[in-house]
Every structure is written in structure tokens, then in C-alpha cells.
């Protein structure tokens, strides 16, 4: 089921906190095939893999087949599976077997985030083609923090990534922007890469505060981290998570483009272009292709559908829809 949740309204409602980030609303319509954006991406010195593929295909065919590159950023497509608090040794064993036998495209980074207690099982049986992420980490060095897991421990058991700022931790557990930013800094200092989640509640979207909320959450990361090289941003509208109400491709693209623009204005053009901005919220095997075609969507963070191996593989392989024959 796809949802019709209203996109916010006026330009002023979309204003960033910083006046330098104010963007006219008109900029957020019809971006998906904007020649300006494609031209500026193509003139960048850092070509994405898709640009290279495009050129190779053009050279190979020498005629008619002219692939359109639908990617504003230069980062590799990225798909993460967030297993949340699901699974047993048996069900996870079956999921791993399905993932190990799945055919996965080359030009995509793939990560799964099992519950902590199964990380070792996953590490010992999952193909090296897929990296492991934790779903959370403690804000500083380990010690007397009952129930917590430190970044050092996650590294020790083979995690390369950690998801931070997920809406379930923000809104159910009560983690705030400042705490999440500090967690990101500590995880990065321990050489864990970070999937930094942002996203608005339904009432915030309906009140026209989508950009304010997302930019505020982004700023909390930006204020603390010194490098974005090991960060992937996950835009996950809270109303779309686990609800079956996926954002429309246009709704997602609009926020992704705004997030990239915020990075450009508040961090740097290089960071804006290189940082992957992935979408999360009821992504499945049926809606992933249309979402992946949006030029500022660099991949997905997937919850429910990542628990089904073949469907997760379909989502991973939606990277192919970034190459569209013209």
C-alpha cells in the first residue's frame, strides 16, 4: 500500500534553521531530471561508478543505447538491512543461507544489522560480500554501563558499521540530538562507520516542519563530527517506518535533494556530492525500483523486508535501475 501523506506547504515552512539554508519551495519540484544537476554532476572531477558505466556502455555500443545516469551524488549505492529486535538462531541461519546464495550486483555496498546477540553467528556464517552493522553503540568507552555495548566491543566482534539516531531510539528510548551526535563522534573515533538517521514525525510533516526537523537533526551531527567520509545519512520519515506507508518517490527525492543542498551550504560541496543519502521507511521489493530512480536517493535502509533474503536481494539489485536506457 502506498500512502498519501501530504508534502508540506510553503517555502517558509521549509526553511532551514540557518538562513543560509533557506531554499525556495519551487526548487523542490521536478528535480528528478534536472539537466542542471546532471550537468554539474558530470562536470565534477569525481565521477561516480554510474558515470563510468554510462561512458563504457556508450563506448561499447557506439550508438542508440544511451544510458541516463540518475545519480546526483558520487557515492556508491548503499543498501542496509536493519533486522531490529527480530530473529532466532534458526531464522537467522535461514536468512543467512538465503543471502549467501543470492546474486548481488557488484556496484552496491551491502550491510546487515542483526541484534547484538547474533552478531557472532552472522559474522561466522555470512558471506564477506556483506558487512555487519550494529544497531546502536554506547556514547563513550565501555565500563560500568549496564546493558550497553561499546564501539570497541563492536569492532572486536567484526562490526564495521553502526546505526545511530534511528527513530525508534529517538522516540521510544528518548535519545536526543546531542547524545546521538556524541555517539557518532565516539563510534567514528573507534573506526566504526555510521549510518546517521534523520526523519520527521507525521505531525511534524503535517505542520510543515519536515525540513526544520531534518536539518536540525543533521546539524546535531554536523556540529560534532569532523569528517563525513565514514557517514551515510538515512532519511527515514517516521510515519513511513514499519507502517507500509512508503513515501512517494517525489516526497523522498524532495527531502534528499534538500539534505544534499544543506550539506553543500553548511559543510562543503565535496561532502554534499560524496555522502550517500539513503531512504528508509517501508521499502520493499515492489517499490524500490521507482525510489532508486530518484537522482538523490543513493540507496536504502530496510527494516521488515530485510528479514526476507530474496526480497532484500531484490532491493539491493534495484541499483540497476540507476542505469536507464534512454
Q: Of the residues 236, 254, 295, 311, which is catalytic? A: 236
Find how far residue 68's CA is from the centre of its chain. 22
- Please report whether residue 110 would count as binding ligand PGA according to CB under 6 A: no
Instruction: Please tell me the number of Cα atoms within 13 Å of 41 on its side-chain side.
Output: 26
- Enumerate residues 6+ apart whose C-beta is below 8 A from 162: 133, 134, 135, 136, 137, 151, 154, 187, 192, 193, 194, 195
Answer for which of 302, 315, 316, 319 binds ligand PGA (CB under 6 A) is 302
Q: State which residue, 87 or 280, has the beta carbon closest to ligand PGA.
A: 280
Answer for which of 132, 214, 218, 301 binds ligand PGA (CB under 6 A) is 301
Q: State which residue, 236 or 261, has the beta carbon closest to ligand PGA.
A: 236
166 is catalytic: yes
Q: State which residue, 218 or 305, has the beta carbon closest to ligand PGA.
A: 305
Residues 253-292 that bind ligand PGA (CB under 6 A): 280-283
Greatest Cα pair distance in the chain: 65
Q: Min. distance of Cβ 136 from ligand PGA in angstroms?
A: 13
Q: Which residue is nearest to ligand PGA (CB)?
A: 303
**E strand or H helix at 185:** helix 177-189
- Please report whether residue 134 would count as binding ligand PGA according to CB under 6 A: no
CA 184, CA 195: separation in Å to the nearest integer? 9
- Please report whether residue 251 would count as binding ligand PGA according to CB under 6 A: no
Q: Is residue 90 a contact partner of residue 118, using CB atoms and an 8 Å limit?
A: no
CA 259, CA 253: separation in Å to the nearest integer? 10
The site for ligand PGA (CB under 6 A) is made up of 82, 236, 241-242, 280-283, 301-305
Active site amino acids: 166, 236
Amino acid at each position: 500500500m502506498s500512502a498519501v501523506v501530504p508534502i508540506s506547504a510553503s517555502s517558509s515552512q521549509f526553511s532551514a534553521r540557518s538562513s543560509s539554508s533557506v531554499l525556495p519551495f519551487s526548487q523542490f519540484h521536478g528535480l528528478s531530471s534536472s539537466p542542471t544537476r546532471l550537468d554539474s554532476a558530470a562536470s565534477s572531477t569525481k565521477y561516480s561508478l554510474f558515470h563510468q558505466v554510462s561512458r563504457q556502455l556508450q563506448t561499447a555500443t557506439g550508438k542508440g543505447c544511451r544510458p541516463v545516469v540518475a545519480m546526483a551524488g558520487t557515492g556508491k549505492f548503499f543498501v542496509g538491512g536493519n533486522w531490529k529486535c527480530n530473529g532466532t538462531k534458526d531464522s537467522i541461519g535461514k536468512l543467512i543461507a538465503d543471502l549467501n546464495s543470492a546474486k548481488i550486483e557488484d556496484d552496491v555496498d551491502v550491510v546487515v544489522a542483526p541484534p547484538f546477540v547474533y552478531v557472532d553467528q552472522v559474522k561466522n556464517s555470512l558471506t564477506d560480500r556483506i558487512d555487519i552493522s550494529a544497531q546502536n553503540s554506547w556514547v563513550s568507552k565501555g565500563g560500568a554501563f549496564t546493558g550497553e555495548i561499546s564501539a570497541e566491543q563492536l569492532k572486536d566482534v567484526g562490526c564495521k558499521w553502526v546505526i545511530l539516531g534511528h527513530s525508534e531510539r529517538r522516540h521510544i528510548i528518548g535519545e536526543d540530538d546531542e547524545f546521538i551526535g556524541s555517539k557518532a563522534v565516539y563510534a567514528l573515533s573507534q573506526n566504526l562507520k555510521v549510518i546517521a538517521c534523520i526523519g520527521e514525525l507525521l505531525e511534524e510533516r503535517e505542520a510543515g516542519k519536515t525540513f526544520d526537523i531534518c536539518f536540525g537533526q543533521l546539524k546535531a551531527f554536523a556540529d560534532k563530527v569532523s569528517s563525513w567520509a565514514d557517514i551515510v545519512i538515512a532519511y527515514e520519515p517516521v510515519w513511513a517506518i514499519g507502517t507500509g506507508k512508503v513515501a512517494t518517490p517525489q516526497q523522498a527525492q524532495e527531502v534528499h535533494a534538500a539534505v544534499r543542498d544543506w550539506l553543500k551550504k553548511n559543510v562543503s560541496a565535496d561532502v554534499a556530492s560524496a555522502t550517500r543519502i539513503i531512504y528508509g521507511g517501508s521499502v520493499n521489493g515492489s517499490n524500490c525500483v521507482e525510489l532508486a530512480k530518484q537522482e538523490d536517493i543513493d540507496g536504502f535502509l530496510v527494516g521488515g523486508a530485510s528479514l526476507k533474503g530474496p526480497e532484500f536481494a531484490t532491493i539491493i539489485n534495484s541499483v540497476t535501475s540507476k542505469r536507464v536506457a534512454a
